[in-house]
Amino acid sequence: MFVPAVFGIDSQALDTAVKLLVLVLVVMWLATVYYTFADARRRIADPLLVGCATVAALFPFIGTIVYMIVRPPEYLEDQRERELEIQAAEARLHEHDVHYCPHCGYQVEKAFLRCPSCLRKLKDPCQVCARPLDPEWRICPYCEADIPGKTPPRRRRRRPAEETAAAEAKPS
């Protein structure tokens, strides 16, 4: 045999070692091909592209390395989840801005004074600036005007003096 026995390893043992190494490499190569196929399926929606990635992985090791460089960074599942989250957030935002007529349930805008469907009154306009007033408001928040029948009478400033007077009037 032309392979000399070095450090006490004879050609028989070397031959077995080389065969084992080749076997390990073949198993690893098959594993990378399968890994590429499985990974591509999770990241790429187009089955043709998944096939291309798998075929590229047949080129031992280099194919898989190239695939890992050019593959999409995100799993399809994560992408779908993120899209659903964005949709839900948009729906929540939209929901926040939707109002319904309390009489007929027709969708109305916040600033509507009268329901366009059942023609019933929704809000009164401010008598000064004419902006729509929420029934719960007690003054117009836009122009600070009083709302007749809603704005409480203003506090008189002479309360401490009155209290003193009341205390003095009390018989001791």
DSSP 8-state assignment for residue 4: -
Cβ proximity to Zn ion: between 10 and 144 the closer is: 144
Could you give the CA distance from residue 32 to residue 38 in angstroms, rounded to a whole number? 10
Could you give the CA distance from residue 42 to residue 36 in angstroms, rounded to a whole number? 10
Cβ proximity to Zn ion: between 91 and 143 the closer is: 143
Binder to Zn ion among 101, 113, 139, 147 (CB under 5 A)? 101
Any contact of residue 115 with Zn ion (CB under 5 A)? yes
Cβ proximity to Zn ion: between 37 and 142 the closer is: 142
Binder to Zn ion among 19, 103, 114, 138 (CB under 5 A)? 103
Any contact of residue 128 with Zn ion (CB under 5 A)? yes
Q: How far is the CB of 150 from Zn ion (least distance, A)?
A: 12
Any contact of residue 106 with Zn ion (CB under 5 A)? yes
Q: Taking a C-beta distance cutoff of 8 angstroms, is the pair 107, 98 a contact?
A: yes
Any contact of residue 118 with Zn ion (CB under 5 A)? yes
The tokens describing 72, both together, are: 């999409």
The tokens describing 164, both together, are: 């003193």
Binder to Zn ion among 44, 66, 113, 145 (CB under 5 A)? 145
Instruction: Dihedral sign for Cα 141, 144, 145, 149, please.
Output: positive
Could you give the CA distance from residue 52 to residue 48 in angstroms, rounded to a whole number? 6
Write out the residues near Zn ion by the rule CB under 5 A.
101, 103-104, 106, 115, 117-118, 126, 128-129, 140, 142-143, 145
